[in-house]
């Protein structure tokens, strides 16, 4: 829990990219989306990533500035800025095809990241940016410098084929909060070797990896939060879906802000589900909104 009156420092650690929809390109990347929503909810939000020396890289830096996020920790290198080709089905559910060897695959460890890691209140990282050895090593080094009492969320965000059992297990060891969806839980359960109903699997994961919380998102069916001492279920919010891009990232941002504000888990789950539902009614991952509705 943060001290009253303190502005929260929240970090999105990983990929910055552009979501290429059939008709336009939109700023994205799960950690960048997470940071954006944390900023919308009142935190000082920073993205640690890399872009290329190209037009999309310049636009990414401009986008960050336009929403009040400093690009100070976005590295610029000779590789192309990340792009992902987004396909929507007739229900607005997204599928993704990621381009290889992008700028965010070459995230370097730099001395200034050590100080940043020590100063934050919460950080979110995922699996995708660890597909390369270089970025994976930087992410792990960053997390090693985060104080143990801060929130370290592993939002697994599995994008086949860019994951491995080793990365997932190592990430669970580095995190103290774990977020996944109901398609990802069976994959993790098999990798880790836990059985039973979803709630039992989550309780065992909490115990085995010493996690303070696991958040399971279930689309329009809502979410479940499981801590070592509490289980909270939250019904979904029925909305007309435009697209689902970024909904999970907004959920994670609301989750982290709620935890740092010291709110009850049921209240956190409700706000996170409502924000994710709202994002589903908008085009792209980073719509503008009145944060007071969700905090």
Residues of the chain under the 70 pLDDT cut: 1-5
- Residue 260's contacts (CB-CB under 8 Å, 6 or more residues apart) are 1, 2, 8, 121, 122, 151
Q: Where are the domains of the chain?
A: 9-283
pLDDT at 244: 85
pLDDT at 2: 55
136, 130 contact by CB (below 8 A): yes
CATH topology of domain 9-283: 3.40.1190
**CA distances from residue 139 to 92, 98, 115, 172, 233 in whole angstroms, order as listed:** 32, 20, 14, 13, 32
Structure confidence by residue, pLDDT tens digits, 234-270: 998 889 898 888 899 999 999 999 999 999 999 999 9
pLDDT at 1: 59
pLDDT at 55: 96
């Amino acid at each position: 829990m943060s001290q009253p009156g303190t502005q929260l420092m929240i970090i999105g650690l990983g990929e910055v990219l552009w979501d290429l929809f059939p008709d336009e390109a939109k700023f994205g990347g799960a950690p960048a989306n997470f940071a954006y929503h944390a900023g919308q909810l009142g935190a000082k939000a920073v993205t640690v990533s890399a872009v290329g020396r190209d037009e999309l890289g310049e636009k990414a830096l401009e986008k960050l500035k336009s929403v009040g996020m400093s690009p100070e920790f976005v590295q610029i290198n000779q590789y192309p800025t990340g792009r992902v080709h987004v396909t929507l089905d007739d229900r607005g559910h997204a599928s993704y095809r990621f381009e290889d060897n992008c700028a965010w695959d070459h995230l370097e460890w730099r001395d200034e990241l050590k100080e940043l890691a020590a100063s934050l209140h919460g950080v979110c990282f995922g699996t995708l940016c660890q597909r390369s050895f270089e970025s994976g090593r930087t992410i792990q080094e960053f997390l090693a410098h985060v104080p143990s009492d801060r929130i370290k969320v592993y939002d697994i965000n599995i994008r086949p084929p860019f994951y491995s059992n080793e990365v997932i297990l190592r990430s669970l060891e580095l995190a103290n909060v774990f977020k996944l969806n109901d398609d990802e839980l069976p994959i993790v359960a098999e990798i880790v070797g836990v059985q039973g109903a979803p709630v039992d699997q989550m309780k065992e994961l909490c115990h085995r990896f010493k996690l303070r919380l696991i958040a399971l998102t279930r689309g329009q069916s809502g979410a479940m939060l499981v801590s070592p001492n509490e289980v909270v279920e939250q019904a979904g919010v029925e909305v007309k879906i435009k697209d689902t891009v970024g909904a999970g990232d907004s959920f994670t941002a609301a989750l982290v802000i709620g935890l740092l504000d010291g709110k009850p888990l049921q209240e956190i789950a409700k706000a996170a589900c409502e924000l994710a539902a709202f994002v589903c009614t908008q085009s792209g991952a980073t719509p503008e909104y009145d944060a007071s509705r969700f905090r």
